[in-house]
């Protein structure tokens, strides 16, 4: 039963109502049936009704949570309690809901029961609560690594639930294409979403494209009239969208990563509260996206941390380990628990001292990073080498926060490098330092000697006749011999001295901190003594000696390289003086060495300058006195030095590689000469040509000789080649082959200087030698009582047995001639008959002799 509006009320009642109308709180009186009997102005205005309209209503029309039964129950409980405060929602005239807090009071008045309610709108509080709820839930989802899509989906859904008129969407920027893509929009029509997929970012691309472009909110109240929507308004109309407010989602204060949009189906102007809420929501979306991305990164780094093969340690700023990865455990053998809380130093090698770590620390403090090699010790005690990189991470304030240590085990690499270094610096056979290391060390010793004012002595050692041993024993035997020599050398020197093998059979010994040359003499004598004892190679006792050159720094040279040269010259001198001895470097040697260099240079032009001349020394058959042979001996007529002996320049020509050219010239000259003398003096005339062993190393030009010989019918045996035993020793198949070719070409072969080398008749037997020339050293002291006599006799006898003819060289006296004739020597060569003569002089000599033989 509705109460008449204001009728029948006392003045006081009217006054009260009048004043209640002025109260800002909303006040409603309801009777037990739920009719609104009094509503103050604030209340009906808030609900959107006029004064007239509101008095026709009852509670069920403005609060749908009540039914008549629940209202009755509510009223009954109010009667017993007196008052009650609760929250509910009122439906406004326009249909929208209004969250309210109600303070209901039971009142009896004039015998009637009333419910007097003080109603307070709680939109703000409700909003705040919803927001808080959404925020907490969103952050909780982020923390639980929920997929970003479901996080943002929840966010949008929350907003839409709060106000069903709203249709929300979040678009995210595709960084590579610079277009916006639909990310979540649960309530927007599907067709619309598809149509705006890959939305361009630009100055007038609807609300969202423009908001992303401007980096500022874009509020379009009416899509149909707003110029920004010109190209999309038809689309919007098709899907019934009338307004669109868009808020850019911005990270790092400037980077737009997407948009948060709210659509309405009717044109809508946002209130200040709406704008604030949107800003708040887009901010929340930003946080979710950012955190999610950070979490992604974290997950990524975590998986890198766990799965990389490089060991990692994370240290706090005091240098204590706070985390390790599995690779660290794999490499070091220590579990995380065993190392966390300790300083990495505790697992370092004793090789590194406090200073080492202090240097790293100060580098880190200064630059924030460090890299280098650190030795560590594994749990099993094994030492290993790491390549270590340390970097610093900073906290939000930019202060150093953590050190990240990355390291990889480079022990194997190091070992490999070391073995490469060893190979580069040590001789593989003897394990002595090689030439490279020797030079480096000598250089260091020279610098040191300069500093402390000491001397450095260099001994340069070359084995005597090593080549022969090598040939006789084979390479393996030669190697064994070198190893044994190296071993003996190490017994002679002090630990500070350095022995090295330069290559082949050359060694050096460097003595440091020496005050005088006596030490050098002592060491050299000891070396020679030690080498005296035979070296057993398999079952053969082998004898070897050495020639040693000695030089002293700073007495003899100004630097290391000059010192090496000096020592070499001194060694050369020791060889020349007869081997198995030492020789100190002298200025004279330097002079000679310089002269050798000079001569070598001049020798290059000697042939072109016609400075060579061939001399001929007759070879006489003693029984008949016939002269049908001569030896060609080369002379160098030097511009200033006069005639230079072949003993001096042939070795130089060999060294300088000129011997081939010179030798070839001699050979061809002699061939012409022999043919000429054959026709002039005797049809069997023969000239012997000396061939150097070096010439057999490159035999290509021999072909030319053979061609020349073949082209001349009368050339058979007009030439004989003289080779030394050395050539035979070197008798590789190639050499024997060449000698055979000479013989096939009609050239005879003589062994020169027989008896001075590694004389072996076995070699001679191997190839078909025609003549044996007994060296002058056996002839010089030849007398019937001399020791050489039976030797010479034996040589001649054996040679004859092998079918060889014998020529005695250097016969100077009548008695030598007589003895040799008596023993049965086939030919005689020597000053007794004639010195070597120029071709003209030889012809004169021979003509004279033919007229007057004997
Ligand atoms: P060789 O082949 O043994 O020559 C004999 C050397 O003994 C010659 O010295 C000769 O002058 C010398 N001689 C001969 N009879 C006597 C004597 O009764 N008493 C003394 N004291 N000496 C005598 P030369 O001419 O100085 O030659 C030295 C060496 O140079 C030669 O020794 C030979 O090995 C080499 N040679 C000479 N010419 C050539 C050449 O054209 N090519 C090559 N590869 N080597 C050559
Ligand atoms: Mg000769
Ligand atoms: Mg000779």
**C-alpha of residue 722 to centroid of ligand 2, in Å:** 6
Q: What is the mean pLDDT of residues 337-361?
A: 89
For atom 22 of ligand 1, which residue has the closest CA?
A: 810
CB atoms within 5 A of ion ligand 3 belong to 752-753, 809
Distances (CA, A) of 634 to 60, 239, 631, 663, 836: 144, 118, 10, 10, 10
Task: Say which ligand is closest to the CA of 780.
Answer: 1
Task: Say which ligand is closest to the CA of 666.
Answer: 1
**C-alpha of residue 756 to centroid of ligand 3, in Å:** 10
Whats the size of the chain, residue-wise? 854
Q: What is the pTM of this model?
A: 0.49
Q: Would the CA dihedral through 752, 758, 760, 763 be positive or negative? A: negative
Kindly indicate the confidence band of residue 732, based on its pLDDT and cuts at 50, 70 and 90: low
Q: What is the mean pLDDT of residues 719-725?
A: 93
CA distance 739 to 233: 109
CA distance 807 to 621: 9
pLDDT at position 175 is: 76
Kindly indicate the confidence band of residue 716, based on its pLDDT and cuts at 50, 70 and 90: very high
CA distance 26 to 31: 17
The finding on whether 753 has its CB within 6 A of some atom of ligand 1 is yes
644: Cβ–Cβ under 8 A, 6 or more apart, which residues?
599, 635, 636, 637, 638
What does the domain layout of the chain look like in residue ranges?
Answer: 12-121, 126-301, 310-412, 429-585, 599-849
Asked if the domains at 12-121 and 126-301 fall in one CATH topology, the answer is yes
Task: Say which ligand is closest to the CA of 756.
Answer: 3
What backbone phi and psi angles, to 5 degrees, belong to 827?
-135, 150
Average per-residue pLDDT for the chain? 88
Kindly indicate the confidence band of residue 290, based on its pLDDT and cuts at 50, 70 and 90: confident
Ligand 1: atom nearest CA of 773 is: 3
**Largest Cα–Cα distance of the chain, in whole Å?**
192
Ligand 1: atom nearest CA of 753 is: 3
For atom 16 of ligand 1, which residue has the closest CA?
A: 810
Instruction: For ligand 1, pick from 630, 642, 646 the residue to mutate: most ligand atoms within 8 Å of CB.
Output: 646
CA distance 53 to 85: 27
**C-alpha of residue 852 to centroid of ligand 2, in Å:** 27
Strands 805-808 and 321-324: unpaired
Kindly indicate the confidence band of residue 226, based on its pLDDT and cuts at 50, 70 and 90: very high
Asked if pLDDT for residue 4 goes beyond 50, the answer is no
Contacts 24+ apart (CB under 8 A), 139-144: 139/287, 139/288, 139/291, 141/288, 142/287, 142/288, 142/291, 142/292, 142/295
CATH code, residues 429-585: 3.30.70.270
Task: Say which ligand is closest to the CA of 644.
Answer: 1
The finding on whether 837 has its CB within 6 A of some atom of ligand 1 is no
**In the chain, pLDDT over 90 holds for what percent of residues?**
45
**C-alpha of residue 777 to centroid of ligand 3, in Å:** 10
The finding on whether 666 has its CB within 6 A of some atom of ligand 1 is yes
Q: What is the mean pLDDT of residues 159-178?
A: 86
**C-alpha of residue 595 to centroid of ligand 3, in Å:** 25
- Least confident piece of the model among 92-96, 376-380, 814-818: 92-96
Cβ–Cβ under 8 Å, residues 592 and 602: no
**C-alpha of residue 527 to centroid of ligand 2, in Å:** 36
Q: What is the mean pLDDT of residues 477-489?
A: 93
For atom 7 of ligand 1, which residue has the closest CA?
A: 810
For atom 25 of ligand 1, which residue has the closest CA?
A: 633
Q: What is the mean pLDDT of residues 704-716?
A: 90
Q: What share of the chain is helix, strand, coil (3-state, %, to 5)?
A: 45, 25, 30
Ligand 1: atom nearest CA of 722 is: 2
What is the CATH T-level fold of the domain 12-121, as seen in this structure? Beta-Lactamase (3.30.450)
For atom 23 of ligand 1, which residue has the closest CA?
A: 810
Distances (CA, A) of 450 to 256, 260, 555, 585: 72, 82, 12, 20
Instruction: For ligand 1, pick from 607, 690, 727 the residue to mutate: most ligand atoms within 8 Å of CB.
Output: 690
For atom 12 of ligand 1, which residue has the closest CA?
A: 810
Asked if pLDDT for residue 123 goes beyond 80, the answer is no
What backbone phi and psi angles, to 5 degrees, belong to 3?
-90, 140
pLDDT tens, position by position, 244-265: 999 999 987 788 999 999 999 9
pLDDT at position 232 is: 92
**C-alpha of residue 485 to centroid of ligand 1, in Å:** 35
CA distance 562 to 557: 6
515: Cβ–Cβ under 8 A, 6 or more apart, which residues?
454, 455
**In the chain, pLDDT over 70 holds for what percent of residues?**
96
Q: What is the mean pLDDT of residues 295-319?
A: 83
Q: Which CATH architecture has domain 126-301?
A: 2-Layer Sandwich (3.30)
* Class of the CATH-defined domain 310-412: alpha beta
Superfamily grouping for domain 599-849? EAL domain (3.20.20.450)
pLDDT tens, position by position, 662-681: 999 999 999 999 999 999 99
- 12 by DSSP, 3-state: which? helix
- Helix (H) or strand (E) holding 447, with range, is helix 435-452
CA 237 to centroid of chain Cα atoms: 67
What backbone phi and psi angles, to 5 degrees, belong to 258?
175, -170
The finding on whether 646 has its CB within 6 A of some atom of ligand 1 is yes
pLDDT tens, position by position, 642-664: 999 999 999 999 988 899 999 99
Strands 26-31 and 370-377: unpaired
Kindly indicate the confidence band of residue 594, based on its pLDDT and cuts at 50, 70 and 90: confident
- 606 by DSSP, 3-state: which? helix
CA distance 11 to 9: 7
Asked if pLDDT for residue 14 goes beyond 70, the answer is no
The finding on whether 654 has its CB within 6 A of some atom of ligand 1 is no
């Amino acid at each position: 039963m509705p109460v008449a509006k204001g009728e029948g009320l006392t003045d006081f009642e009217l006054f009260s109502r009048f004043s209640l109308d002025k109260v800002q709180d909303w006040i409603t009186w309801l009777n037990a049936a739920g009719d609104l009997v009094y509503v103050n102005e604030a209340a009906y205005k808030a609900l959107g009704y006029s004064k007239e309209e509101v008095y026709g209503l009852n509670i069920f029309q403005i609060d749908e949570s009540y039914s008549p039964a629940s209202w009755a129950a509510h009223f009954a409980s109010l009667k017993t309690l007196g008052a009650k405060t609760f929250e509910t929602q009122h439906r406004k005239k326009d249909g929208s809901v209004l969250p309210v807090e109600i303070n209901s009071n039971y009142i009896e008045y004039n015998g009637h029961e009333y419910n007097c309610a003080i109603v307070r709108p709680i939109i703000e509080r409700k909003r705040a609560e919803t927001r808080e709820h959404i925020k907490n839930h969103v952050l909780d989802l982020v923390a639980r690594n929920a997929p970003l899509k479901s996080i943002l989906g929840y966010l949008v859904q929350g907003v839409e639930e709060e106000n069903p008129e709203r249709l929300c969407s979040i678009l995210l920027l595709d960084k590579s294409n610079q277009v916006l893509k639909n990310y979540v929009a649960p309530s927007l029509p599907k067709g619309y979403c598809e149509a705006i997929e890959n939305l361009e970012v630009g100055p007038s691309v609807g609300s969202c494209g423009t908001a992303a472009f401007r980096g500022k909110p874009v509020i379009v109240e009416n899509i149909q009239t707003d110029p920004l929507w010109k190209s999309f308004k038809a689309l919007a109309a098709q899907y019934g969208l009338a307004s669109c407010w868009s808020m850019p989602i911005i990270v790092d204060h400037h980077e737009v990563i997407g948009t948060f949009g709210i659509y309405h189906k009717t044109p809508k102007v946002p209130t200040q509260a709406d704008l604030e809420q949107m800003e708040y929501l887009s901010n929340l979306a930003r946080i979710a996206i950012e955190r999610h991305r950070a979490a992604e990164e974290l997950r990524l780094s975590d998986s890198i941390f766990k799965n990389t093969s490089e060991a990692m340690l994370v240290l706090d700023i005091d240098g204590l380990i706070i985390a390790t990865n599995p690779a660290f455990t794999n490499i070091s053998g220590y579990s995380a628990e065993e190392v966390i809380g300790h300083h990495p130093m505790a697992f370092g090698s004793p090789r590194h001292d406090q200073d080492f770590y202090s240097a790293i620390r100060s580098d880190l403090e200064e630059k924030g990073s460090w890299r280098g090699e650190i030795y560590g010790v594994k749990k099993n005690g094994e030492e290993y080498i790491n390549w270590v990189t340390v970097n610093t991470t900073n906290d939000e304030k930019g202060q150093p926060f953590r050190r990240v240590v990355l390291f990889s085990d480079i022990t194997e690499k190091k070992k490999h490098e070391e073995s490469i270094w060893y190979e580069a610096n040590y001789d593989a056979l003897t394990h002595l330092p090689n030439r490279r290391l020797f030079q480096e060390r000598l250089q260091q010793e020279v610098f040191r000697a300069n500093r402390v004012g000491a001397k450095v002595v260099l001994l340069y050692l070359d084995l005597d006749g090593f080549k022969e041993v090598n040939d006789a024993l084979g390479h393996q035997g030669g190697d064994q011999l070198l190893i044994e020599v190296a071993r003996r050398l190490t017994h002679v020197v002090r630990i500070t001295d350095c022995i090295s093998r330069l290559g082949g059979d050359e060694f050096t010994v460097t003595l440091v901190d020496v005050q005088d040359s006596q030490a050098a003499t002592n060491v050299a004598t000891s070396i020679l003594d030690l080498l005296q004892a035979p070296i057993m190679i398999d079952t053969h006792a082998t004898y070897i000696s050495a020639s040693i050159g000695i030089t002293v720094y700073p007495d003899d040279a100004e630097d290391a390289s000059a010192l090496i040269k000096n020592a070499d010259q001194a060694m050369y001198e020791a060889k020349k003086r007869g081997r198995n001895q030492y020789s100190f470097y002298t200025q004279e040697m330097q002079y000679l060495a310089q002269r050798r260099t000079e001569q070598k240079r001049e020798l290059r032009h000697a042939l072109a300058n016609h400075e060579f001349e061939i001399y001929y020394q007759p070879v006489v058959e003693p029984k008949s006195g016939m002269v049908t042979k001569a030896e060609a001996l080369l002379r160098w007529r030097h511009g200033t030095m006069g005639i230079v002996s072949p003993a001096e320049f042939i070795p130089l020509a060999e060294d300088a590689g000129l011997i081939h050219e010179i030798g070839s010239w001699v050979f061809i000259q002699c061939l012409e000469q022999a043919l000429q003398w054959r026709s002039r003096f005797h049809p069997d005339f023969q000239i012997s040509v000396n061939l150097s062993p070096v010439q057999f190393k490159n035999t290509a030009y021999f072909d030319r000789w053979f061609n020349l010989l073949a082209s001349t019918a009368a050339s058979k045996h007009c030439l004989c080649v003289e080779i030394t035993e050395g050539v035979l020793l070197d008798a590789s198949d190639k050499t024997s082959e060449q000698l055979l070719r000479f013989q096939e070409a009609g050239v005879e072969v003589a062994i020169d200087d027989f008896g001075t080398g590694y004389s072996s008749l076995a070699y001679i037997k191997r190839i078909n030698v025609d003549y044996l020339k007994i060296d002058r050293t056996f002839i010089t002291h030849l007398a019937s009582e001399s020791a050489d006599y039976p030797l010479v006799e034996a040589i001649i006898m054996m040679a004859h047995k092998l079918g060889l003819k014998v020529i005695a060289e250097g016969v100077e006296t009548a008695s030598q001639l007589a003895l040799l004739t008596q023993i049965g020597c086939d030919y005689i060569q020597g000053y007794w008959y004639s010195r070597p003569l120029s071709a003209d002089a030889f012809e004169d000599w021979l003509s004279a002799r033919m007229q007057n033989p004997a």
